[in-house]
Structure 1
Amino acid sequence: MGDMRHAMNGPGEIAMRLSWWDMRALSALRPWQTLDFTRLLLAVIYAVVSFGFSSARHWAESAEHVLILLMLLLAFSAVLLSSRSWVTDMRIRRPVIYLDTLLFLALLIVTNPSNSPYFSGSFFVAVEVALIVRRRFHLLVALAAGTAAVGVTWLDEIASLPSEPEAERVVLRACYLAVAILVTGVLLGPRRETLLQFERDRRLLEGELPPAGSDHGPFLLHALRLATRGHGVAVLFRLASHEPLRFASSAAREMPAVGFGNLLTAETGWHDRSRHASISLSADGIAVLGPLSPGGQAWTALLDAETLLTIRVTIGTFEAVGAACLDDPCHEDRAAIAQRVFESACEELTVRNSLDLAHVIAGARERERLQRELHDSVLQALASIRFQIAPLLAGRQVEPLAVIENVDRIAKDQIATIRWIINPDVDEEDFAYLPETLAMVVRSLGEQWGIGCELKVEDGNCATSAMIGRELSFAVREIVANAVRHARATMVNFALEPDGNRIALQVSDDGVPNMARLGSSGAVPSRSLMRRIQMLGGEVFLQNIGGRTTIRITVPRK
């Protein structure tokens, strides 16, 4: 029984501890909560000092006690109401500050404004007022506070009020100093951005995000639960703008039958369906209260929740909107931290997805390279071997030794080629003299196919990189194989010449003219040649000149 009780109370106890840790560690991120508790602390100090040093001063003493009790009641009510709902907290901020300001001014009046022990508290009131007006009006607030402070000092000329005891003034000044140090330490400690960054890193470190597999829904749900600590989460997302939207939910809810409607329009913020209010959180962390937004209404209806937090993240073409069911209250820091944690998780997901895509692309390119190299070397060599032994198999009078020697030479050449294909170890920055490279290839092709092959080199610099020389060598092999096998050519001529910052290679043969040779669907498809030259940044042109098929290839020098 004890173990069962421990197991049942464990999650609740852990949640309570986490909640307590958030309240303790993140209080500096909650200026309004700090303001409410500071107001309550000052009201308690006023009450204790006022009643502790009470003296017979006719009606002014009674008015002082009544005003202080009203201020204490106002401060206690503000703390109680704001802790019940974030919406209520935002709705009562301005009225509470206005009432507190009026009560404090009245307190100064009844305690002899020119010598009031409560005068130092006007600084806190000025800070209160400054927090509810726009920043461009802060200077006006300071001027108004100074004018009011000077004005109330003239009231003693209209009505003479007895001064407060000196001991009360000393105690209040000491209390003001302690409160000022405490509040300054809270508000002027680490900056809000630093605290948000620290809490985001802590949650991500403790959360241990799982690897992002092909199905990104579970990953985003875990990240959303980690960011919001909500008990029910759902997310609507797509990795690219052209992809359809995908929906995932921790409660195994079905995708909305009539579409997503306003779900995708929800911004980062808090939504309270019972109070018909939404609180949007801007990029600078300022919360704005308004009526329940269409996005908030759609999410609360979908998740059947009264209060929830939505987070919107857009990174390039990635877009996601998550919602978490949370119990009120939910303050600014929680929404801001949830936004950062979920955004960081989404960034990691996009990076992982990009890496996976890069690996897929790299794998596809490597497969394409292997196919191209094998096609242009091994398959062409095998076709050449068949071409060499065809007369022998047909029973013609040929010299077997010459055929065997030729086949052996082709096999040796292909052994070296296959080794290079498996482990290419060529420095692409090394330059090679292209005429020498092509001369060896042309001579070898002539021997393989038993045809005439000639290379003519025009005057000029035809030096290029070793990689381009290798690719052109493979292209030449395919061109000759196509000319012999499909056009029955007996003579192939090569012309190599510089062409500005490019190099041109022109190949012509005496085979059957076939203008569709590059586009033929024969045994040797042409897309391998086209792809190889295009990868070099070159171009291929096919033309028929004087009954001879001519192919012109131009490639950059490097």
Structure 2
Amino acid sequence: MPGVSPFHRLHLLVNFHIGADPERLISAGRLVSALFAALAIYLDPTRPARSLNEAHLVLSAYVVFSLLLMLCPPRRPLAHPVHLLSHAVDVLALGTLVYLTDELDSPFFPFVPFILLATTMRWGMRGAVLGAIVMEGMMIAVGWRDLTDGDSELNLVIMRSAYFLVAAAMLGYFGAYRARSGQRFAQLASWSAAPVSMDERAWLHDLLDHASRLLGAPRLILTWQDRGDPVGRAALFGPEGLALLPLPDGTGRAGIAAILQSAGWAMPAPREMRSAPFVGTRNKGRLHVLDIRHGHEDDASLARITAQRIGDELERFALTHAIAESARDQERVRLARDLHDSVLQDLTAATLKLKAVAAGLPPAARGTLQAVSALMAAQQRRIRLFVEDGRKLAALRPLSASLSQNVNELCDQWGCDIGLTVTPPDMEATARVHRELAQLLSEATANAVRHGGATRLNVELSRIDHGLSLCIADNGCGMIVGESDDPPRPRSLRTRVEDMDGSLAITRYAPGLALRIEMPLPEMSEPGMPAS
């Protein structure tokens, strides 16, 4: 450090080592106490009225002991007996000096609280209690003669006992506070950046569960709004689990009351609530901590740190999904190119050969080949649509026309009737939405006809808040539901819906099966409006 004197460097070095190391601070306090006691006897040797030589001997040994521990502090775990041994020497030396120098009126009595300070720094609340008990016992032991010699000093014993107990309580509080802060720092440090799960609900549950244990609050409310999302979302975490709700229009306490009312939770008192904001590049929000029973002065700072960490995790979640979506789009483009260069060309060649073969057959024998040729032509159209979608992923197209074409093909393929309703009729969506809906309809129709023997399906597609609702009902035999808490659901449909961050619910099992699928679709827009 240029421009700093050697004396100042030494001063900073000593302060840093002592302040950063409790063991050195205890050793320094012991040595300073012993040196001041020696200085007191040296300047006023008549104050110890009796046993002056014995007091000099004990004090000299204690100064040497303090100097040794200052130069070579013990580096052992807190439970190691060497620490108990050092405090036992402190009790023995200070108790002997007090006993040899006027007992309860001893000038060395002010140094006795050093024992309480040292044990509290080393063991927190337990150390404070242990130090108080030892000091009370030592005071009674050395002052017993004063209490029984006819000139009782009971008032002095009571006042010093009260002093020791109050000091122990205050120091114990700071010791417990220090231990609690250390535990919270450890929990913050253990908040590792685990891989982001594609299951948003499970990921949010783990995130808020860690925050709940860190803040010591059983219930949390997380409200946030992503960039481009005009409404926002709210996540409620408590002993009942996790609940996700749309963010209400109101803000502040009124908005929280609306969220709690929607979830059926009771509204806590204002003194039992605390909130902290967070702001990121992709989102902003606020963490609300509920049911606070014992507030501490550092809870507000910890809530702010936790809220910002949750905001960073939400940023990471959104970025991970954006990267995954970009990778999927690139893979679709590559797959579309491969399909165009291989499968589509082969299907075209096969269709031409079938037409040539059918031209040479009698009219009565052409029906089967024409049906196969029509099926192959339908698959060609699907592949061409996939190829075009891969080239122009963000284009918006009407849903009614493409779904009607898919429904007609499914009716011909499976020999069933399908009724389709799209609300609103002019709703538009991107190519990915068209493709996913077509796959869902195809899978649901196949399951209904093959497994349920259905001859009629009703399909209702409607727009909901920032997403789609797809209801599919058939007239088949339905499903048999057991007594388990998790009834069976079509595995292929469930997997596809989960990949789109959607939800699948069975609203009717028999007669006939009825499904309700909800999918978040932030890339959709209203008719006539640009995509976000």
**TM-score, length-normalised on structure 2?**
0.39
What TM-score, normalized by structure 1, do the two folds share?
0.38
Relative CO higher for 1 or 2, CA cutoff 8 Å, sep ≥ 6?
Answer: 1
